[in-house]
Each structure stands twice: as C-alpha cells, then as structure tokens.
C-alpha cells in the first residue's frame, strides 16, 4: 500500500485507501437551555445580560480581553447592549452568558458554533471572560459544561477549538483542556482590519473520556483547598 499520512485512520480492506465507516446518524443541534454547574451556571444569552456584562468588562485596558475577538471593546453600555441583542439572536454560534456563583452576575460568555450535525463536528469558541473570571474555577467549569454537553449529551465525534495563532492564552487553554494541536491555517481571515492566521485544535470521541475525567477530577471538591485554590494542576490528572 502507498505511504499514507501518519495518524489518519484507514480501512485496511479498501484500495485506494478510505477512512473507516462511522455512524452516519446526524447529531442533534444544541438547544437554547441553561446548564447548571457546581461553581457556575450558563444561561442562554439575552439582552437582559448586557448591563452586567458591561460592568464586568470595566477596570481593564480596552484591548486586554478583546484583542483577538471579532467584536469589542464596547465604549458604552448601549454599544454592549446592541452587540448582545444581535449575538443572542443567532443559532450558530449559540451563546450562553456565564454566571459564576461567587459573584452572582453575568461575567462572560461562550458559544457552541460551526455546527455540522451530519459530520458530528462542533466547536466551542467565541469565548469572552471578564477580568474577574479569567483563570478561575468557574471559567474552566463553564467550558467543561459545554464540552460535556456536546460530546456526551449530543454525541458529537469531533470537538474543535480555534484561535488567532498569536493568541497564546487561548493556545495554552486548549492544551490545558486536552485538545490536540492540528496545525495553523495561514492568513485565513481579516479581523478588525488585521491579518489573522488561525491555529486549530481538536478532541475526538475516543479521546474524550480521558479528557472528561481529568477535567472532572480537577473540578471535584476534594481538589480545592479552603483558600479557594486547586491542590493539583489539571495536567496532573492526565498524567
């Protein structure tokens, strides 16, 4: 048989080579419903969240958390409200507001997007965390709730994560959560008038159980000390 790209599954009975057969049942689209966690709740994004989101965005340099997003920063609450109203009306991406229990306010958003039910492929992305949410237990659990929903509840085979190739915090987050780097599409987009290359990551169905168990172990109450800090890093749960 001809030399084949490494790491690509192949049906040994086919010539020329083809991929293995799979369950072709289209996966369900996600519904606009809340998701409840131990430290955070996800609520379908609504214009009523705009005031809290605008307040959560204050107290940081204007470009600190918006540099790699297609929208923002928002100079006024009215501008935030206009964006949230339009964003909340879309079905792909489908957005949720993030409400950490420790603050009780909407402190960010995230989405499921790039939905391909016939191919069982879906993406978690368009994530914005306010300064007080970044690097928090609630931030990790918010992402985990949607990852678990996509893979366990809806049965998708491929979960992707994309980011600006220069966005090192996002690249580190993908690695931390157990996504595999697949490559970079060069000069793919123009965002806010600037050239953007896009780094691509994925978790596949057969990889998901170990990633799920590692994140769940990190989030579990025994891993958290009275100071509100984890006793072990997430990477140690994948070792």
Q: Does residue 226 carry a pLDDT above 90? A: yes
What per-residue confidence (pLDDT) applies to 62? 63
Determine contact, residues 19/11, Cβ cutoff 8 Å.
yes
Span 88-115, pLDDT tens digits? 999 999 999 999 999 999 999 999 999 9
The answer on pLDDT for 239 being more than 80 is no
Q: Map out the domains of the chain as residue ranges.
A: 35-237
Fold category of 35-237 in CATH: Aminopeptidase (3.40.630)
In this model, does residue 64 exceed pLDDT 80? no
Cβ 74 vs Cβ 83: under 8 Å: yes
117 pLDDT higher than 90: yes
Residues 166 and 199: their CA atoms lie apart, in Å, by: 8
User: DSSP of 158-213, one letter per residue?
Assistant: EEEEEEETT-HHHHHHHHHHTPEEEEEEEEEEEETTEEEEEEEEEEETTTHHHHHH
Asked if residue 95 lies in contact with residue 110, where contact means CB atoms within 8 angstroms, the answer is yes
Please say whether the beta carbons of 38 and 219 come within 8 A.
yes
């Amino acid at each position: 048989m001809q030399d084949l790209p490494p790491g690509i599954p192949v049906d040994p009975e086919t010539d020329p080579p083809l991929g293995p057969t799979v369950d072709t049942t289209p996966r369900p689209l996600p519904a606009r419903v809340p998701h409840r966690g131990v430290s955070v709740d996800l609520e379908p994004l609504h214009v009523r969240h705009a005031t809290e989101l605008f307040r959560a965005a204050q107290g940081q340099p204007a470009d600190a958390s918006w540099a790699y997003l297609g929208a923002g920063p928002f100079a006024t609450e009215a501008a935030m409200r206009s964006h949230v109203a339009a964003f909340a009306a879309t079905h792909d991406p489908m957005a949720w507001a993030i409400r950490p229990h420790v603050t009780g306010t909407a402190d960010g958003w995230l989405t499921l997007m790039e939905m391909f039910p016939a191919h069982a492929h879906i993406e978690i992305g368009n994530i914005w965390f306010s300064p007080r949410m970044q690097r928090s237990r609630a931030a990790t659990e918010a992402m985990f709730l949607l990852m678990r929903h996509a893979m366990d509840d809806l049965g998708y085979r491929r979960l992707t994560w994309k980011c600006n190739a220069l966005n090192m915090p996002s690249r580190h987050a993908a690695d931390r959560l157990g996504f595999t780097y697949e490559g970079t599409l060069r000069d793919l987009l123009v965002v806010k008038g600037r050239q953007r290359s896009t780094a691509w990551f994925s978790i596949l169905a057969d990889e998901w159980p170990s990633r799920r168990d590692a994140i769940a172990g990190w989030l579990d109450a025994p891993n958290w000390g009275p100071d509100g800090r984890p006793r072990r890093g997430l990477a140690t749960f994948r070792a």
